[in-house]
Each structure stands twice: as structure tokens, then as C-alpha cells.
Amino acid sequence: MGLLLGLLVLGDLTVVTYGHPILEAPESVRGPWKGDVNIPCTYGPLQDYTQILVKWLVQRGSDPVTIFLRDSSGDHIQQAKYRGRLHVNHEVLGDVSLQLNALEMDDRSHYTCEVTWQTLDGNQVVRDKIIELRVQKLSVSKPTVTTGSGYGFTVPQGMRISLQCEARGSPPIKYVWYKKQTNNQEHIRVANLSTLLFKPAVMADSGYYFCTAKGRVGSEQHSDIVKFVVKDSSTSLETKTEAPTTTQSHSEGKGLPIFVIILIISLCCMMVFTMAYIMLCRKTSQQEHVYEVASYRVHAREASNSGETMKADIFTSGCSSEESDSQTL
């Protein structure tokens, strides 16, 4: 009898071990501070078991708190702190891993993955796994130098402008700005903030600048050297951007649109044709005026000649009558 009871208990244990779904998850996971982390939680789907509930819980004090719930009505994020940065996989059956974005240091805790299945006879089976999440602080990355001005690193004199030094890493991050000196002289420290402000920029501010960044973790990092140029506002300023290196530069200027160029050419052609037409009209008018004056002079000369002829005829006729009268006498 005892042997039979032992065999029955062993059979039940075998069903429990091999007949039910088994969750698989690591004991601990590391994630970067301010970065993203995936906490794996998977199981092998079984034909007679239907997933009906998924929970993710986090240990807060002595009691676990539900932060995610998936049921027949959909997904529900239970804590406002995790909204917008928590996601649980649903694309692959058997994969209920947790994706957590923008990690904060207080996200370090023990997370519980809990799945509930329902069998064909209506019974429910619950399994869970506890995973420890560790958040790592990162060392400071190489800082980059930028400027919010459309002029880039070449600006007109009198302009208010700032240079920004930015690095990624665990806070707090300390920034220092330096102005490079020639002839192997020691660099001049010009600011202890991430922003180097010129208000306003003068021509004496022109030079080579770089910044350093130092965090609690890792060594001090140096940015590339940038050439900052302040030009006299009375001269024409070309819009250029010096890349944050000592050997490369890129232009930011843009040419005129093609339709503007076509419009300008059309207006110029119209002006040329208009001026030519006006000059032609004026020349024709002057020629007609000269012709009229010449015609008037010719007519006047003919009239003068005809008058003299008439006078000569009168004089001749007068002389003839006087001679005839003398001959009569």
C-alpha cells in the first residue's frame, strides 16, 4: 500500500514538473543609467495551456507592487512612473519580456515576472520568476561642441552667441572651457560651465577653443578643438561652419532657388528690350524733325527765288514802257 501511494505521488510530481509551462529568466540583469534594458522572461507554449494573465511586479519595501498587467481587456500600466517607458513583448507567443527605457538609479530593484495559464478543464496554473535589476553609472563620453547660431563658428562682431559643451555620462558632470595659446603656452581657462557665452562677441575673442568633461566615473575627456572667428561687421560676412576639428570645415550657405534666378534673368531681358525700344523711338523722332526742318528751308528758298524773279519781271516791264514813251516823244 505504501509503495502504491509513493508511485502516485511520484506521478503527480512528474506531471507538475514536465506537464506545466516553465518560466525561464536570469537571476539578474544590468542596465545603463539613462539607457534602456530588456529583462527576459519566456516560456515554452503548451497545447493544453492558454495564457490568460501576465503581471510584472517590483519590490518596494517589503511588498511587491504591480506595475504592469495584461488580461483579456489589454495592457495596463499601473504606475505613473513607468508610463511612456515600459513595454512588454506581445509579438511572440511565450515571450513576455519587459523593456524599460530611460533607466533611473531608483529603478534598481527586484522585478517579478508572473504568468497565469488556464487548462482545458478550467483550472489555473501560476508561475513566477524574480529578476534583480542593477543600474550602472556610465563614464563620461567625449564631449562635443556646438553653437545655436546659424552662423556656425564664424560670427559678426557685436553678436550675442554661446558655445555649448555636451557629454553623456553619470551626473554630475563638470565642464571647463579653455582657449588655446600659441608658442606652446599654457591654455587659458575661460569658463567653468557647459556654456561659453560671448555677450557680445568682439574680434579679440577669435581663437581656438576646446572643453573638458569629468564625471564621477572614468577619466576626464577632451573635445575637439574648434576655430572661433569674429569678423568685422562692416565687411561682408560669409556664412560658414567650422567643423569641430582642426583640419575640416563645411559651408552652410545655400544658393538662390532656380525660379528666383529665372525671374531675375527675365526682368533683366525685359529692361534691356524696353531701353532699346525707347532709344529707337527717340532716334526716329529726331530724324523726322530734321526732315521737317530741311523741307521747310527748301520751301522757303524756293519762295525767295520766286519773289526775286517776280521783281525782275516787274523791273524789266517798267524799263520797256519808259523806252516806248521816249520813242513816242
| Cell numbers placing 173 | 558632470
Q: What is the pLDDT of residue 168?
A: 86
CA 131 to chain centre: 40
Q: How far apart are the first and last CA of the chain?
A: 206
Answer whether 206's CB lies under 8 Å from 156's CB. Answer: no
Mean pLDDT of 315-324: 41
Query: Are 114 and 202 a contacting pair, CB within 8 Å?
Result: no
Q: Which residues, including other chains, have CB under 8 Å from residue 104's CB and lie 6 or more apart?
A: 33, 34, 135
Indicate the pTM of the whole model.
0.47
Which comes out higher in pLDDT, residue 9 or 295?
295
Nearest to 208 by CA among 165, 239, 245: 245
Nearest to 212 by CA among 184, 193, 185: 193
What order of strands is seen across the sheet that includes strand 74-77?
Answer: 28-32, 124-136, 109-119, 49-60, 63-71, 74-77
Mean pLDDT, to the nearest integer, of 267-287? Answer: 82
Residue with cell 526732315: 291
Q: CB–CB of 67/79 below 8 Å?
A: yes
pLDDT recorded at residue 285:
66
223 bridge partner residues = none
**Cβ–Cβ under 8 Å, residues 127 and 55:** no
Mean pLDDT of the chain: 79
Q: What percent of the chain has pLDDT over 90?
A: 52
**Identity at 240, one-letter amino acid code:** K
Before 172, cis peptide (omega within 30)?
yes
